[in-house]
Copies of this chain bind each other. A is one copy, B any other.
Amino acid sequence: MVTEQQIREALTKVIDPELNRNVIELNMLRDLHIDNGNVKFTLALTIPDCPLRDQIEHDARMAVLALEGVKNVEITLSAMSEEERNRLFGKSTAPQTSDFNRIGRAVAIASGKGGVGKSSVTALLAAGLAKLGYHVGVLDADMTGPSIPRLFGLREPPLGGPNGILPPRTLRGIKVMSVNLLLPREDEAVIWRGPIVSKVIEQFWNEVVWGELDYLLIDLPPGTSDAPLTVLQTLPVAGIILVTTPQELSSMIVRKAGRMAEQLNRPILGIIENMSIFICPVCGTRHELFGPSHVEEITDAPLLGRLPIDPQLTVMEDAGAVEVYETEETKKLVKEFLKVVPPPYGR
């Protein structure tokens, strides 16, 4: 005979994808009746027209049906009263998305210079962290040249829920928000001046339902103007990771990004050198295509890794499969990243 305790336990595995908490924790379970293997209960959603109601109902049914002795499951969906919601979230009636967000570590990936592979590095780090089981989000702060959705093969627009914007998830469950997910065509030009860019970045932080994240990686655009400035000035980022290429010219411009971070009192947590070398797959010759490394001249922060030029990565990025790409270098990168940005919540 199945017990109430068993059902409650089973339902702790049903997660509200929007809030990243389980339905028991959220106090959704009501009116549980068990009658000879027939189980009936109500789930009170936090909001009546929750766009994920079908998924929650399905997950709950599967979880309970999996218990030995359960023959049938009947679920009624209802909604919490405003008072219940307030009790749960302990806040004012007006839903503020940030109430649901609990972001462990926000880290900005910066370079100052364009085209050094900030977005590639961001995506590779996110994928590596997600593979290790961390909850990861990527906020694409590049409004006019957003690369992140393409790398992960994301096209569908985010769902607009009553609690905020629901970011689409990648294969490995990384939550992604980018202006390119909102455009009718991905090659549409976003001709916005700085104030609008800054406003939208703040919205991506405040009005997106990130839920509970260990890491939120923020992919900055090139330069040291509005977008990077807004991220470093107004968002509670733990620090920045610099990305550079060997060319001396890149080093000079990447140093500018480092100086910006210093001036805004954001620590440089580490530096990554991209496109360091190319090894000819035919003859094995090692080519320093962009010259010898100048990474030591940029910062005293730890060097987290050097990534070679790999045509295979380009292919997988263009195919939207950056998450599947993994090499010894990328694994080492994630390991070094975890040393300088240790997981939050004592995980």
Contact = CB atoms under 8 A, between A and B. Distances in A.
Nearest to A285: B282
Given A114-B115, A282-B283, A288-B311, A189 B257 contact: yes
A76 B73 CA distance: 106
A247 interface: yes
Interface residues of A, number: 60
B193 A226 contact: yes
A320 to B, nearest CB: 10
A52 interface: no
Interface stretch (A12-20, A142-150, A324-332): A142-150
Nearest to A262: B189
A134 interface: no
Main secondary structure of the interface of A (DSSP, over half): loop
A256 interface: yes
Interface string A310-333: 010011011000000000000000
Interface in A211-227: 221-226
Contacts of A260: 189, 191
A256 B187 contact: yes
A150 B188 CA distance: 33
B318 A248 contact: yes
Contacts of A189: 112, 224, 256-257, 259-260, 263
A70 interface: no
Given A145-B253, A186-B252, 18 more contacts: A113-B114, A115-B245, A143-B223, A143-B225, A145-B223, A147-B249, A150-B249, A189-B260, A189-B263, A193-B225, A247-B318, A280-B280, A280-B282, A280-B283, A280-B285, A288-B311, A290-B314, A291-B315
| Across the A-B interface, the 6 shortest Cβ-Cβ residue pairs | A114-B114, A115-B115, A194-B194, A144-B223, A283-B283, A187-B255
17 contacts: A112-B144, A113-B114, A113-B145, A114-B145, A114-B221, A115-B116, A144-B223, A144-B225, A188-B259, A193-B229, A197-B225, A221-B222, A280-B280, A280-B282, A282-B283, A282-B285, A289-B309
